[in-house]
Amino acid sequence: MDTLIFVVIGLVAGPLLGGFIAGLDRRVTAWFQSRQGPPIMQPFYDVAKLLGKEKMVVNQWQILCAWVYMIAAAVSVALFFAQSDLLLIFFVQAIGAVFLVMGAMAAKSPYSQVGAQRELMQILAYEPVLILVCVGFYMVTGSFSIEAIWQQDMPLLARMPLLYLALGYALTIKLRKSPFDFSTSHHGHQELVKGLLTEYSGPYLALIEIAHWYETVLVLGLCSLFWHTNVVWMAVLLIVTYMLEILVDNTMARMTWRWMLKRVWLIGMGLSVVNLIWLYTG
């Protein structure tokens, strides 16, 4: 029964929290650029407007793919709130990510195609990092279940600091922030117009935006597990992490996928593996 309540809380709070974070993000970014910026509620206005627009699709695949992406993201957040298995959450999330790419590939537009190829590269970069983080949790707690993490009496950050840094790479890629925003950007547009999202429009774009909020909450939730012992420190950790993300987004240029693969695989996975060896021997 408790699990069901948590699931409902996750499903409702996920998009609300994600939208609020997106609105805050735009405000802080505007502040960095000495602008006033849109109201905090702006992402909700955007999505509501998109939901009210005429439905236009290139082909039926896009409808299916947008829905599967949204449902997979929502289910992964629901599973997270139900204290489920980390590997299961990871695979459900990966299904959504792949469907998003498939929908973009279904349209013949070159922007959408190139965006989809780049998104595949991004998935190739961040998914191994996510799975290594899950392995780190396993090495510490002896289980992939989130429940086992809550039974620990020390913050996991003390034992997996390098894995947390590696997770930062995954978070930046997942949030579509510079220097990794080359498949599509969370800003107005980039060199591929809107890359991966070019051919999604109206209500389907709204679904993808909601799914993006769910995923933001999921990855930030993963970050929060690193300091589960104290709610205040968990909040501090999340705020500091997100502020750093915004700072990185505003101070970095957009790089290429080759640069990303080199950095994330060498540094990100290097950090992860060093941390795992440390956990293994320690």
Partner 1 sequence: MFGSFIKKSRAKSPWIIHFDCGSCNGCDIEVLACLTPLYDIERFGIINVGNPKHADVLLVTGTVNHRNKKVLKNIYDQMSEPKAVIAIGACGNTGGVFRECYNVVGGIDKVIPVDVYVPGCPAKPEAIIDGVVVGLGKFAQKVEEAK
Among 194, 209, 227, 228, binds partner 1 (CB under 8 A): 194
Cα–Cα distance for residue pair 82/213, rounded to 1 Å: 18
Confirm or reject binding of residue 60 to partner 1 (CB under 8 A): no
Cα–Cα distance for residue pair 144/153, rounded to 1 Å: 17
Amino acid at 200: Y
Confirm or reject binding of residue 188 to partner 1 (CB under 8 A): yes
Confirm or reject binding of residue 116 to partner 1 (CB under 8 A): no
**Among the residue ranges 135-143, 169-177, 200-208, 215-223, the one whose residues contact partner 1 (CB under 8 A):** 200-208
Confirm or reject binding of residue 26 to partner 1 (CB under 8 A): yes
| Sites for partner 1 among residues 74-93 (CB under 8 A) | none
Residues in the chain: 282
Do 218 and 133 contact (CB within 8 A), yes or no? no
Confirm or reject binding of residue 281 to partner 1 (CB under 8 A): no
Confirm or reject binding of residue 22 to partner 1 (CB under 8 A): no
Cα 147 versus chain centre, distance: 22
Q: Does the CA dihedral 69-70-75-78 come out positive or negative?
A: positive
> Which DSSP string do the residues of 165-178 spell out, in sequence order?
HHHHHHHHHHTT-T
Confirm or reject binding of residue 45 to partner 1 (CB under 8 A): yes
CA atoms within 13 A on the CB side of 223: 26
Work out how close the CB of 79 gets to partner 1 at its nearest, in angstroms, rounded to a whole number: 27
Work out how close the CB of 277 gets to partner 1 at its nearest, in angstroms, rounded to a whole number: 46
Measure the N-to-C terminal CA separation of the chain; round to a whole number of Å: 39
**Among the residue ranges 32-40, 71-79, 94-102, 171-179, the one whose residues contact partner 1 (CB under 8 A):** 32-40
Q: Which residues bind partner 1 (CB under 8 A)?
A: 26, 30, 33-39, 42, 44-46, 48-49, 51-56, 188-189, 193-194, 198-199, 201-202, 205
